[in-house]
Amino acid sequence: MTTTSTQVAIIGAGPAGLALASKLDRLGIDNVVIERRSQEYVLARIRAGILEQTTVDFLKDIGAAGRLEQEGIPHHGVRLAYNNRIIPVGLGANTGGKVVTAYGQTEVTKDLCDLRAASPNPTIYEAENVSLHDFDSARPYVLYDEQGVTKRLNCQLIAGCDGYHGVSRVSVPESAITTYEKVYPFGWLGMLADVPPVSPEVLYANARRGFALCSMRSWTRSRYYIQCDPDDKVENWTDDMFWDELKRRLPDEVSDNIQTGPSLEKSIAPLRSFIAEPLRFGRLLLAGDAAHVVPPTGAKGLNLAFSDVHYMSEAIETFTSDGHEDALSRYSERALARVWKTQRFSWYLTNLTHRFSDDPFDQRVKEAELAYVTTSQAGLQMIAENYVGMPL
């Protein structure tokens, strides 16, 4: 068997794994990325595209923000809609000038892949049978098959960045991990279309028929979502049916102006909140979707992956320079504190804007809460502060 060694073995080449790899490159820490899929597969995923300022700053720091700075669209506010009304929530105005940037996650991943391509440290795509070993000792290693040949990678640390379905979290003995989960009784049907966005800022609509969301990828490409049954199938929805239902859920002034067109893509995603803790098991550290999943309301998934990577890279830098393991435990505590606050906000915004039952009382309470938070300075500030992202 071929054996190689590195300082950090990174499992997964999604946004978390690639961002960590580039940050470690900059810190002069050797690393190898091991990814189960092909690069083309990784780049084909379409996901939320709202970046917090801390995410933008991280991408600038590692040198992956060139295109983002040209093409990203700053949003100075978001909009909440209910009862045929639209309420603007100023972001900068309520947070001392912070904004978010609309830039698709697919583009972020592409920029990270391009940056990684210039790294002297390797990325192994299409690795099969990846398995993690001895991370409860000082000599962990990873086994994987590359083109049918089994390889061994010795390392000091393993970074589990392999998403919710990855191998890292499930390699930890069940007795060492606590998980929390909430599955919502609905999904989101998303559609991408080359039409100008109807709203210049992201609009979250609470409607009696169910939630709707207007977002964008550029000034010529829109992303819209409607709440749907979690077991619904994309094949049940023609483009016309989607547009009709979307319009029914939006205030008249929005639906009257919406430009429709053929879909480029339609997909259904379930909604769930999930957290595993701690994030450190000996020499294995988890980050991103491997450790936690948020419902997409608020677009926090990608941003949380970046804040984990920020804390993790600080911990790895300290650990590789002084060898003290305390830095690794502090990673778990620091990252989880932010994860829980962000989980709370994603859960809150989901509850506020979605239809959970047929009970008209529930709907009226949500409308009353929307009326309250959008007319209270404290309420507006709470939404804005969370939307732009908690400080690191």
Please select the residue that binds ligand APR; options are 10, 32, 34, 193, rule is CB under 6 A: 34
- Per the CB < 8 A criterion, the answer to whether 38 and 311 are in contact is no
Task: Work out whether 49 is an interface residue with ligand PHB (CB under 6 A).
Answer: yes
Q: Can you name the residues that pair with 102 across neighbouring β-strands?
A: 50, 73
Task: Work out whether 167 is an interface residue with ligand APR (CB under 6 A).
Answer: yes
Helix (H) or strand (E) holding 85, with range, is strand 85-90
- Per the CB < 8 A criterion, the answer to whether 17 and 161 are in contact is yes
Q: How far is the CB of 203 from ligand PHB (least distance, A)?
A: 9
Please select the residue that binds ligand APR; options are 9, 14, 160, 210, rule is CB under 6 A: 14
Task: Work out whether 202 is an interface residue with ligand PHB (CB under 6 A).
Answer: yes
> Which residue stretch of 52-60, 232-240, 250-258, 295-303 sits at the interface with ligand PHB (rule: CB under 6 A)?
295-303
Distances, alpha carbon 256 to alpha carbons 237, 244, 246, 252, in Å: 21, 11, 11, 6
Q: How deeply is 7 buried, as exposed, middle or buried, from its count of CB atoms within 10 A (0-12, 13-18, 19+)?
A: middle
Cβ proximity to ligand APR, 32 vs 250, nearer residue: 32
Please select the residue that binds ligand PHB; options are 6, 121, 199, 215, rule is CB under 6 A: 215
**204 in active site:** yes
How many residues bind to ligand PHB according to rule CB under 6 A? 10
From the candidates 184, 204, 225, 331, which is the catalytic residue?
204
DSSP string, 322-354: H--THHHHHHHHHHHHHHHHHHHHHHHHHHHHS
Task: Work out whether 42 is an interface residue with ligand APR (CB under 6 A).
Answer: yes
Task: Work out whether 283 is an interface residue with ligand PHB (CB under 6 A).
Answer: no
Distances, alpha carbon 357 to alpha carbons 185, 192, 210, 354, in Å: 9, 28, 10, 9
Window 282 to 321, contacts with ligand APR (CB under 6 A): 288-290, 301-302, 305
**121 phi/psi in degrees, rounded to 5:** -80, 140
329: its two tokens: 């435990």
DSSP string, 114-167: HHHHT-SS-EE-S-EEEEEE-TTSSS-EEEEEETTEEEEEE-SEEEE---TTSS
Cβ proximity to ligand APR, 73 vs 269, nearer residue: 269
**75 in active site:** yes
Q: How far apart are CA 143 and CA 1, in angstroms?
A: 10
Task: Work out whether 160 is an interface residue with ligand APR (CB under 6 A).
Answer: no
Q: How far apart are CA 150 and CA 365, in angstroms?
A: 58
Q: Which residue is nearest to ligand PHB (CB)?
A: 215
**82 in active site:** no
Q: Can you name the residues that pair with 149 across neighbouring β-strands?
A: 146
Q: Work out what residue 163 binds among ligand APR, ligand PHB, none; the CB cut-off runs from 5 to 8 Å by kind.
A: ligand APR
Please select the residue that binds ligand PHB; options are 23, 223, 249, 366, rule is CB under 6 A: 223
Residues of the shown chain interacting with ligand PHB in the complex, contacts defined by CB under 6 A:
48-50, 202, 215, 223, 296-299
Residues of the shown chain interacting with ligand APR in the complex, contacts defined by CB under 6 A:
11-17, 34-37, 42, 47, 127, 130, 161-163, 165-167, 288-290, 301-302, 305
Q: Give the residue numbers marked as catalytic.
A: 75, 204, 296, 300, 387
